[in-house]
Structure 1
Amino acid sequence: MKASILGLCVFALGIVLAFAQSNSSASNSTSAEQEIITLSKDKWQWMSDKNVDKLAGLFDEKSMFVHMGGSWGKSQELEVIKSGNIWYKKASVYSTTFHLIGNTAILLSDLDLVAVVGGNEVTNPFMVTEVYVKENGKWMMGQLSFSRLMRPVKN
């Protein structure tokens, strides 16, 4: 009888601890999710403002950028923004999906991007993939990819 009661108590304690750990993980994910969404919004504004100093602090040295016309690293992306070869004029984000895997955050955003490319203003519907890695308590962008969507522009 004592063994049954002890077993039941251990079982109940295990459920309580598992629930507490699950809530803690969800809270950490929610906190990271809000942090990344805010960081992404800031990034779009910095890109619009051509604020390469802020972007240089966000982009990891090994970061990669994938566009419709090619792919390149941090220094070329910053130069493209600074020179105005691509001006990320306005991003209208309609929805985001967040995934956290260890210290890596993946944000998928359905958006319309108004950009000036080669002196011509264009608007494209994109699914943008942003990958952030948290090192030494700071989120750094590791990758940014633009995938053109088949849907019409919404704005």
Structure 2
Amino acid sequence: MKNLILSLFLILANMNLLSAQSSNNPTEQEIINLSKQKWQWMADKKSEELADLFDAQSMFVHMGGAWGKEQELNIIKSGGIWYKKADIHDVSVKLIGNTAIVLNRITLLAVVGGNEVTNPFMVTEVYIKENEEWKLGSLSFTKLMTSEK
């Protein structure tokens, strides 16, 4: 009897966990997937895909400065910054009309100026939906003072 009750409890606990994990609506999930894809394109230096994703007026804020789309793409192409791997720990999406604000808490492994560095960041991404297509309008890195995962 104890085993039956314990098994039933574990099944119910797993069902609650699964429903909590899938609580994003379809648009939020679409944005989360797009954000993850963007990190992979950045790691793979896929500048053509990124050029399509980045809005013509997009802005990028880094620890070393802020600049627009063309400079960001040139930095990625040249290897000035190589976003080797973004370990995503937490992600949240807020939808406001045709705008999506994504917060990613990540640990970023990157090569900057030939030096491999690892930093914890809260990254803010702003996407705008135009003509049924999401475009990245802003990407901002805020370095966190803790490296907790």
| TM-score normalised by the chain length of structure 1 | 0.80
SS at match of 1:36: helix
Match of 1:113 in 2: 108
Match of 1:123 in 2: 118
Q: How far off its partner does 1:31 sit?
A: 1.2
Which runs of 4 or more aligned residues in structure 1 lie more than 3 Å from their structure 2 counterparts after TM superposition?
none
Larger Rg: 1
Structure 1 gap segments, 5+ residues each: 1-28
CA–CA distance in 2 between the matches of 1:65 and 1:120?
A: 21
Q: How far off its partner does 1:32 sit?
A: 1.1
After superposition, the C-alpha distances for 1:1-52 in whole angstroms (9 at most, x for unaligned) are xxxxxxxxxxxxxxxxxxxxxxxxxxxx711110100000100000000000
Match of 2:45 in 1: 50
Structure 2 residue identity aligned to 1:35: E
CA–CA distance in 2 between the matches of 1:131 and 1:30?
A: 18
Structure 2 gap segments, 5+ residues each: 1-23
SS at match of 2:25: helix
CA–CA distance in 2 between the matches of 1:97 and 1:31?
A: 13
Superposed CA RMSD: 1.0
> Is 2:82 aligned against 1:87?
yes
Match of 1:152 in 2: 147
Structure 2 residue identity aligned to 1:107: V
After superposition, the C-alpha distances for 1:53-90 in whole angstroms (9 at most, x for unaligned) are 00000000000000000000000000000000000000
Q: How many residue pairs end up in the alignment? A: 126
CA–CA distance in 1 between the matches of 2:27 and 2:56?
A: 22
After superposition, the C-alpha distances for 1:116-149 in whole angstroms (9 at most, x for unaligned) are 0000000000000000000000000000000000
Q: How far off its partner does 1:107 sit?
A: 0.3
CA–CA distance in 2 between the matches of 1:128 and 1:152?
A: 14
SS at match of 1:151: coil
Structure 1 residue identity aligned to 2:120: P
SS at match of 1:32: helix
- 1:1-155 correspondence runs (5 A): 30-152=25-147, 154=149
Q: How far off its partner does 1:153 sit?
A: 5.7
Structure 2 residue identity aligned to 1:116: V
SS at match of 2:145: coil
| TM-score normalised by the chain length of structure 2 | 0.83
CA–CA distance in 1 between the matches of 2:83 and 2:34?
A: 16
Structure number with the higher helix fraction is 1
